[in-house]
Amino acid sequence: MSDFPARADCVVIGAGIVGNCLAGHLSDLGWNDIVLLDKGPLPNPGGSTGHASNFIFPVDHSKEIVDLTVDSQRQYEALGLQNTCGGIEVARSPERMEEFRRRMTSATCWGIEARLLSVDEVIELVPFIDPDVILGGFYTPSVSAVDSLETGTQMRRRATEAGHLQTFANTEVLDIETVAGPNRPCISAVVTDRGRIECDTVAIACGVWSPKLAQMAGATIPLTPAVHQMVDVGPFDVLVETNQELAYPIVRDMDTFCYERQSAGSMEVGSYAHRPILHRVEDIPSNEEAALSPTEMPFTPDDFDEQLEQAIELMEFLGDGEIKYAINGLLSLTPDASPVLGPTPEVENLWSVAAVWVKEGPGVGRLMAEWMTYGYPRMTDPHGSDVTRFYPQDRNVIHIETRADEHFNKTYGIVHPREQWATRRNLTCGPAKARTDDLGAFYFEAGGWERPHWYESNADLVDRYGIEGRTHEWDARWWSPITDAEHLHLREHCGLVDISPFQVFEVSGPGVVPYIEKMVVNKCDLTVGRSIYTPVLTADGGFRSDLTIVRLSEDRFRIATGAFDGGRDEYWFRHNLPADGVHFENRTEALATYGVWGPNAIALLQTLTETDLSQEAFGYGQVRDALLSGIPVQMFRISYVGDAGFEIYCPTSAGLALWDAIAEAGREYSLRPVGAGVYGTTGRLEKGYRLMGAELESDYNPVEAGLARPRVKAADFIGKEAYLAAREAPLAAQLCVLRFESLRCAEGYDRFPMGAGNEPVLTPAGERIVDSHGRVSRVTTAGNAPSLGAYLAMAYLPPELAAAGTELSVMYQHEQYPVTAEATGANLALFDPDDSRMKA
Amino acid sequence: MRILVCVKRVPAVGSRINVTDDGQQVDTAHLGFTTSPHEECAVEEAAQIVERLDGDDHTVVVLTLGPEESTEQLRYAASVGGNEFALVMAEGGLDWDPQRTATAITAAVHEMESSGGEFDLILFGNESADGGNFQVGIRVAYALGRPIVNGIKGIDVTSSGIVARRETDAGYEVYELETPCALGVKEGINLPRYPTMKGRLASRKAQIAELDCAGGADAGGQARQRLHRPPERASTTVMLGDSAAAAPAVVDLLDELGVL
């Protein structure tokens, strides 16, 4: 084939909805030498796009997913390939009706029109639903069905007509070649059965086949092919006589995990209720071997019988329809059910664009094109979908399949914001696990680690401090009053916190100072033993991360980041390493970390060491090597909870001995173990400390978060230009702390907003608050402040509202609760605002 | 009227059929299974025949020979009009030679007729989709001493027996048979119905009789040596263009093919 290119700037592999849209958007952003490959024929190469039901329900609890979905709907609409038919989710259980109130909250937050329907109102819209089966509905008028194949075709055409894209169907990729790069292998070529293309960048948009393609380059894309069963049944007079593709709203029968979607005279019935059926990539047949298409696997009817019965319960006439088409359709499941997008950590310039539904396809195309062009997306913060969020231990097939197996049946499930995984637990544990087990630790998983969230051994403190429980089961789920009791105990005496899941890196070498200065906002070139808390920015000046950095020696810095952020941060630091002069090392597993805080903490620790721990000798923010009970440690005087004390780092091998030594010495000082519920929420919130992924997202900058220092360092750093501009620009939003004036719900008891990201801050009249950049005000964290006797929230507000005393409200479970803004700016601490306790 | 339909479980293949390494079987690792298409039509034909007859004293019995999984095909038959079902359990039976298969089925017919009465009509598919031996129906009919005609694309039940039509280049050959008799039907005789959702659910309750008559059937004279996959015919897709702009190229191609 003489016209087959020998070179391209970018090769996109996979011509489903995602690859096509990526090619289209790359072209729009100026990429002018793109090759799109698919092993199958066009327009339907045989991937999951080809058998998708193609409908879009825009309301979700996740901002990131909603941003992608709503943007996709706009794009489908602009192409004239969207049919807006409305959609109804119906409930069969009271729990689902309650979930609909949560969905109303999310819909309000994202500005998507929606309403709760009575049974009669459901029947009015879909007369053939049996009213005796349901309790009510959740209606979204903007639910739509789209033509994903034609959208892909038009995206390709757009890029082709611009002269930017060449497309080759029926072309199988045999290998993806890399060359050695300064730190990691780097993309060099794609080898196909029609020739070899040298290229700088490769994007894998191969849906269920993506892991296989990534493996060719030595990378991983953690997903598994999984079955979604679907049948097409009909014809039915009631549908035929409408003479329309979609005359009725699409129905999701949420409690049976099924949907019913009109398709002209027939109904498509699909399910996420059947047993999880996972396949290995190598078990997917080729286009030639498959009876239908590779991703339309043979239907296994026994798995679907219960769903047939339930569908007939809901819509009796379905029973007489003929099953004309039935498939085990393949789709992609990841370990945590979110997409896998972005740069792969293993190979430079290899991008993952996988595990994406049709409802997000065009939005993901735009997001990825921005990411590949600007270094980070502009349309939304993708941290929940970032492929680098997965740690190495999350990338093996057993983990992927086990977690996919666990969450498949939650596709339409009611998933609590704090819900914990049941499988793949106890794989990564701190050295004191045996002790924390004995103390009745209730563990949450934090980035794969088992982290005590509260301790049953502290149950006695609940009575002592008079902590009340929560009336509503939803509010009390994955929560314990022990957390509040532990908090008060720490404030009164002291607490020992296991923070070993901290992700710890060390960078060292002759080039380390310019390197680390380039990476972060605040100045790192300080004296040895000093620490720096600093934002890490995207090129556009939004938050990519926040970190604590300690200068261990002239040419060595330690970087500590959160348990959930280590994968993304490690990628970013490695990606930006210079060709030589800086060495990067992940020390997470080598170090155990404990925190000891509270009024007694310093005195307690002083009994174990000859190092003078007084504030005068060992000031706040300093790091020293010390012997603690004869164990060599590094002590870091810092606090995320608002009381005096230290983070203590020691070799993991000494971690158990250190725990025992502190616990033993702590008997005299009323030391109690304290869980991450205090560390991560109650203690933090009283001090107004920001959290990555909650307050800190790429949509916001340090000025808005109140984290801009008075002066900007001289050294250049990533995002500096945008940061300087933001410091000069009029403020569009400001992070605030809000106090709930009342938590009393209409039924007469207190409710407790979660701060899960979907709870909007509203005017007292119930209107959404949107800033001049189009960002909605919503609760980023919410929780108890036991020392203040208050319930607090954090949220960004436009400047005219960001002032102490502003009266607003927060929606939770579709009810409004009055709040008052209490603090804004740099210091958001309502507890001990001048930090006198921390610096005691 | 009492009709027996004999069906076979066969792999649902794509355009490329893989063979196991030992060359003895179709590699079904990626495949589902279905009822051999001629036989799916035979079940449909039997269902239509009894639907056309007066009274409700009619039965469609569906029989298969094969492994336990073959009950899938019997349940499918139950969802599209079969009334009674029997399985001749034979692990590996899907690959039996036609003589051995016919011997076991003949024994099964004898057993079913001794308890349930004679079958007026036994329907076979013209040939199975996988083996394609074209023998089993004829061998069974011969062993039972009943007439059989293959290649049938039309069946009428008359007061005196059965009228069956076979398609030829020139039109139809028409056969009149007295019952009991047997016919081998071909795809195209009807358009088989799809199961309804209710039909599928009801089929789960269908009683399937297991017949133990495979044991006495010895291997016949025809033995499989090895399966070969024919060389693939390479095909390429040439895009002639898009929308109306493609019309001239389409015309040129049709002209080249000599169809204009």
Interatomic CA distance for residues A244 and A82, integer angstroms: 14
A739 occurs within a structural domain = yes
A109 occurs within a structural domain = no
A162 close contact with B: CB closer than 8 A:
no
pLDDT confidence band for A2 (50 / 70 / 90): low
Mean pLDDT score of chain A: 97
CB B163: neighbour CB atoms within 10 A? 14
B210 occurs within a structural domain = yes
CB of A342 within 8 A of CB of A385?
yes
A387 occurs within a structural domain = no
A181 occurs within a structural domain = no
Give this complex's ipTM. 0.89
B249 occurs within a structural domain = no
- Asked, as a colleague might, if the bond just before A45 is cis with ω within 30 of 0, I would say no
Burial class (CB in 10 A: 0-12, 13-18, 19+), A171: buried
B245 occurs within a structural domain = no
Task: Determine if the pTM surpasses 0.90.
Answer: yes
Residue of chain A whose Cα is closest to the Cα of B33: A298
pLDDT, position A255? 97
Helix (H) or strand (E) holding A656: helix A655-666
B85 occurs within a structural domain = yes
Site of tokens 């006589």? A241
Of B30, B74, B204, B243, which to mutate for an interface test with A (greatest number of A Cβ within 10 Å)? B30
**Strand-pair category, B2-7 with B121-125:** parallel
Residue numbers in B near A320 (CB within 8 A): 196-198
For residue A733, what are its two tokens?
A: 């939003």
B242 occurs within a structural domain = no
A168 close contact with B: CB closer than 8 A:
no
Interatomic CA distance for residues A249 and A228, integer angstroms: 21
| A231-248: pLDDT as tens digits | 999 999 999 999 999 999
Residue numbers in A near B16 (CB within 8 A): 286, 288-289
Give the range of the structural domain holding residue A810, as residue numbers without chain letter: 730-840
In CATH, what number is assigned to the domain containing residue A818? 2.40.30.110
B192 occurs within a structural domain = yes
| B77-115: pLDDT as tens digits | 999 999 999 999 998 888 899 999 999 999 999 999 999
Asked if B16's CB is within 8 angstroms of A286's CB, the reply is yes
B136 occurs within a structural domain = yes
Give the range of the structural domain holding residue B60, as residue numbers without chain letter: 2-234
Cβ-nearest to B32 among A298, A311, A319: A298
- Taking the C-alpha atoms of A633, A638, A642 and A648 in order, what is their torsion angle to the nearest 10 degrees? -10
How many structural domains is chain B composed of? Answer: 1
Find, among A60, A127, A113, A42, the residue nearest to A384 by Cα: A60
In CATH, what number is assigned to the domain containing residue B10? 3.40.50.620
Angle between helices A148-161 and A361-374 (to 10 degrees): 30
How many structural domains is chain A composed of? Answer: 1
For residue B165, what are its two tokens?
A: 């039509």
The CA angle A73-A77-A81, to the nearest 5 degrees, is 105
Asked if B32's CB is within 8 angstroms of A299's CB, the reply is yes
A1 close contact with B: CB closer than 8 A:
no
The amino acid at residue A524 is C
Q: Answer yes or no: is pLDDT of B235 > 70.
A: no
Q: Answer yes or no: is pLDDT of A1 > 50.
A: no
B246 occurs within a structural domain = no
Interatomic CA distance for residues B79 and A572, integer angstroms: 58
Interatomic CA distance for residues A522 and A117, integer angstroms: 52
| B30-47: pLDDT as tens digits | 889 999 999 999 999 999
Q: pLDDT above 90 covers what percent of chain A?
A: 98
pLDDT confidence band for A3 (50 / 70 / 90): confident
| B197-233: pLDDT as tens digits | 999 999 999 999 999 988 888 888 888 899 988 877 7
Of B197, B201, B238, B240, which to mutate for an interface test with A (greatest number of A Cβ within 10 Å)? B197
Among A234-243, A579-588, B20-29, where is mean pLDDT lowest?
B20-29
Interatomic CA distance for residues A326 and A305, integer angstroms: 12
Q: What is the mean pLDDT of residues A826-839?
A: 94
The amino acid at residue B94 is L
For chains A and B, what is the number of CB pairs under 8 angstroms? 73
Angle between helices A63-78 and A94-110 (to 10 degrees): 70
E strands along A169-321, which residues? Answer: 173-180, 185-192, 195-204, 224-234, 250-253, 258-263, 266-271, 296-297
